[in-house]
Amino acid sequence: MSVSEKDVRHIASLARLAIPAKRIPTLVDELNHILIHMDVLQRADLSALDENTPAVAGMPLRPDVPGSVPLERRREDFAPQMRDGFFLVPRLDTHGTSGSSADEDAS
């Protein structure tokens, strides 16, 4: 399998990376040069996989008791832009006065 310039532009968009147009052909070559080495995996014989994978220990759970790891610095000290306690971003294209990505398209 190999990637095209279109693929690279698409994944760059998904990853929110601005790639200058002149960099794209180089990246296509680099990625394909890496991906070619991955083809060997398609030939691996998975029949040797143990059916009985060792029992998973499972996830440790936390009691429902308040007490999070404290912040030793104010949010304002590390945030690029804050106002009245909010983190600020350029105004979002949206429908209402408030919302969240859970309420609308994550675009």
Partner 1 sequence: MNRAEVEALIIVDAATTASRVRSREQSSLLALAAAKSQMESANLGRNGLNAILYSDADGALRAAGELGAQFTYSKTKSNFALAGVPVMVKDNIATLSMPTTCGSNILAGYVSPFEATAVKKLRASGALLLAKTNMDEFGMGSSTENSAVGPTFNPIDNTRVPGGSSGGSAVAVATGTVRIALGSETGGSVRQPASFCGIVGVKPTYGRVSRFGLVAFGSSLDHIGVFGKSVDDAALGLQVISGRDANDSTSAAVDVPDFRGHREVKSSAPLVGIVVGWPREYFPESLDSNIRALCERTRDALRSLGAEIREVSLPHTDLAVPVYYIVAPAEASSNLARFDGVRYGIRAESDSLRELYENSRSQGFGAEVTRRILLGTYVLSAGYYDAYYKRAQSVRQLISQDFARVFASGVHVLLTPTTPSTAFKLGAKSDPYEMYLSDIFTVTANLAGIPGMSLPIGRVDRLPVGGQLLASHFDEETMFRVAYALEHALGASAHQ
Partner 2 sequence: MSTSSKNSMATADYEMVIGLEVHCQLKTQTKAFCACRTSFGAVPNENTCPVCLGLPGALPVLNQHAVELATTASLALNCIVHSESIFARKNYFYPDLPKGYQISQFDKPLATEGHLNIGLIENGQPVVIRITRVHMEEDAGKSVHDRFASSSAIDLNRSGTPLVEIVSEPDIRSSSQAGAYVRTLKQILEYVDVSDANMEEGSLRVDVNISARPRGTTAFGTRTEIKNLNSITGVERSVEIEFARQCSVLTAGGTIVQQTMLWDGHKEQIRPARSKEASHDYRYFPDPDLPPLVLSEQFISDKRRALPELPDARRARFSSQYEIPAADIDVLTATVQMADRFETIAATSSDAKRAANWVLGPLQASANASGIPLHEHPVSAKRLGDLIRLEVEGKVSNTAARQIFTFMESSNDDANVIAEREGLLKISDDSALVVWIDEVIAEFPAEAARFLGGEQKLQGVLVGHVMRKSKGSADPKKLNQLLAARVKLA
Q: Which residues bind partner 2 (CB under 8 A)?
A: 14, 16, 56-71, 75, 81, 83-107
What is the closest distance, in whole angstroms, from the C-beta atom of residue 38 to partner 2 in the complex? 16
Residues 22-51 vs partner 1: string with x where CB under 8 A?
A: -----x--xx-xxx-xx-xxx-x-x-xxx-
Give Cβ neighbours of residue 48 (< 8 Å, ≥ 6 apart).
Answer: none
Rg (CA), the chain: 23
Which residue bears the tokens 């040797």?
48
Which of partner 2, partner 1, none is residue 105 near (CB under 5 to 8 Å by kind)? partner 2
Q: Single out the residue of 93, 94, 74, 73 nearest to residue 85, CA to CA.
A: 74
Nearer to partner 1 by C-beta: 55 or 89? 89
Interatomic CA distance for residues 76 and 79, integer angstroms: 5
Please select the residue that binds partner 1; options are 77, 83, 84, 98, rule is CB under 8 A. 77
Question: Is 9 exposed, middle or buried (CB count within 10 Å of its CB: 0-12, 13-18, 19+)?
Answer: middle
Residues that bind partner 1 (CB under 8 A): 1, 3, 7-8, 10-12, 14-19, 27, 30-31, 33-35, 37-38, 40-42, 44, 46, 48-50, 53, 57, 59-60, 62, 69-75, 77-81, 87, 89-90, 92-93
